[in-house]
Amino acid sequence: MFDRRLITHFNWPILIVALVLAMMGLANLYSATSTFDPGEQTSYFRAQLVWLTIGISSLLVVFSIHYRHFRALSYVFYGITAVLLLLVLVVGRKVAGHQSWLQIGPVSLQPTEIAKLGLIFGLSRYLSVFRPSPKGATFRELIPPFLFFLLPTGLVILQGDLGSSLFFGLIFGTLILIYGVRWQVLVSMLVLFVVVATLAYFFFLSPYQKNRILTFLNPEMDRRGSGYHLIQSKIAVGSGGWMGKGYLKGKTHKLKFIPERHTDFIFTVLAEEWGFLGSGMILGLFGLLLFLGISVAVRANDRFSFFLSVGVCALFFWHLVVNLGGVLGLMPLTGVPLPFFSYGGSALMTNWIGIGLLLNVSMRRFMF
């Protein structure tokens, strides 16, 4: 028999905020692609509509099944996403220097996005079962969750997508900090990160990846080359002023000064046309979504649903921070999409699955 309490406990604010962000994202994408050939613009917009439909359908499936069933299958989900990452290395399609795409008939998937959820499922299941020592987790206790992180991260690095591999580290770090670690372990991990990052820069990064870091530090050193994208991005954001130039009236992206304006640099279109106030409103909606998501985690009635909710919030938070940080020149560009705004089916579907998981936990917090 259907439990009517599921309706009374449905978290409408989360769904409404997500839908508003999605609608604003569609409108912004239409403007960002307005200088494309008419057929190309229609193709992008229709594809995003299709993926939005798939994403909302995924949400309906995800929140209709009790999350305890997802708990039982968490390791299976993790394993499936790892296999998809492995398949990309074998039969994947290379785009922009990254072998990150898997072609399944007419559909192109980027398993890296789905694997972020796989990592959240795997870590949430493990951390919910094994509790840390009273003073925090020791090095030995962190070995199993570190292996959960290492497998997908290594496969993504082999694909050549260093930016996404770092994102796995952000999700891992967030969940581990919430789990609880000893301060000695935390300091040691920070030192290890600095050492590994230094060695990676000198011995493993490609010239293109090194240029991204140098451009972040000083974009003026190569205004027409590696620093061009970042400089034009800052000009577009700043030119919006307080009120913006108006919808469909942004000149910087219409004159094609902004590269990848429908994906990585989608925020520049928003900032130029809607200004500081419009951008602030969108960021406020993202902040509200994160607040509602954290509220779900705080009120979760078991450790698995708590870590699952925290992981989904971390997914949205770090996407937002890393994308805006790169666009505004606060950190190196990594190619991380802006949730609900950047063009891309895999990322959009992942976003809606995340919303579905938050709704699932929120609705069933009273059920044992």
Query: Is the same domain home to 251 and 359?
Result: yes
Rounded to 10 deg, the angle between the 266-298 and 12-32 helix axes is 170
C-alpha closest to that of 32 among 317, 337, 325: 337
Q: Distance between CA 64 and CA 45 in Å, rounded?
A: 29
Query: Is the same domain home to 230 and 178?
Result: no
Whether 214 is in a domain gets the answer: no
Whether 78 is in a domain gets the answer: yes
Could you tell me the strand order of the sheet in which 93-95 lies?
A: 93-95, 98-104, 107-109
Backbone angles phi, psi at 102, to 5 degrees: -115, 120
> What's the mean pLDDT in 342-355?
93
Query: Is the same domain home to 176 and 276?
Result: no
Give tens-digit pLDDT for 275-321: 999 999 999 999 999 999 999 999 998 999 999 999 999 999 999 99
Whether 176 is in a domain gets the answer: yes
Res 1: pLDDT: 46
The residue from 175, 205, 235 where one domain ends is 205
Query: Is the same domain home to 134 and 195?
Result: yes
First to last CA, the chain: 16
Query: Is the same domain home to 228 and 360?
Result: yes
The residue from 205, 237, 266 where one domain ends is 205
Q: Distance between CA 218 and CA 212 in Å, rounded?
A: 10
261 or 176: which leads in pLDDT: 176
Distance set, CA 94 to CA 23, 52, 91, 133, 140 (Å): 31, 24, 10, 44, 38
Helix (H, G, I), strand (E, B) or coil at 66: coil
226 or 41: which leads in pLDDT: 41
DSSP state of 27: H
Query: Is the same domain home to 118 and 262?
Result: no
Contact 108, 130 (CB under 8 A): no
The residue from 181, 205, 229 where one domain ends is 205
Whether 173 is in a domain gets the answer: yes
Q: Distance between CA 360 and CA 149 in Å, rounded?
A: 25
DSSP state of 137: B
> What's the mean pLDDT in 3-32?
87
Res 147: pLDDT: 93
Q: Distance between CA 162 and CA 282 in Å, rounded?
A: 28
Domains held by the chain: number: 2
Query: Is the same domain home to 123 and 56?
Result: no
Give tens-digit pLDDT for 118-165: 999 999 999 999 988 888 888 888 999 999 999 999 998 888 777 788
Query: Is the same domain home to 293 and 322?
Result: yes
Q: Predicted confidence band at 209 (pLDDT cuts at 50, 70, 90)?
A: low
C-alpha closest to that of 119 among 149, 80, 164: 149
Query: Is the same domain home to 115 and 163?
Result: yes
The alpha carbon dihedral of 283, 342, 209, 190 has a sign of positive
Alpha carbon 240 to its chain centroid, in Å, reads 26
Whether 57 is in a domain gets the answer: yes
Res 216: pLDDT: 63
Q: Can you tell me which residue has the tokens 């969940």?
A: 175
Query: Is the same domain home to 324 and 244?
Result: yes
pTM: 0.90
Domain holding 183, by residue range, is 74-205
Residue 235: which residues within 8 A CB-CB, separation 6 or more? Answer: 252, 257
User: CA 260, 261, 262, 263: dihedral to nearest 10 degrees?
Assistant: 50
Query: Is the same domain home to 166 and 29?
Result: no
Q: H-type helices in the chain, by residue range?
A: 5-8, 12-32, 38-64, 67-72, 74-91, 111-129, 139-158, 162-179, 183-203, 207-217, 228-239, 251-254, 266-298, 303-327, 345-363
Res 336: pLDDT: 84
Whether 69 is in a domain gets the answer: no
Query: Is the same domain home to 46 and 134?
Result: no
Whether 211 is in a domain gets the answer: no
The alpha carbon dihedral of 155, 81, 128, 179 has a sign of positive
Whether 265 is in a domain gets the answer: yes
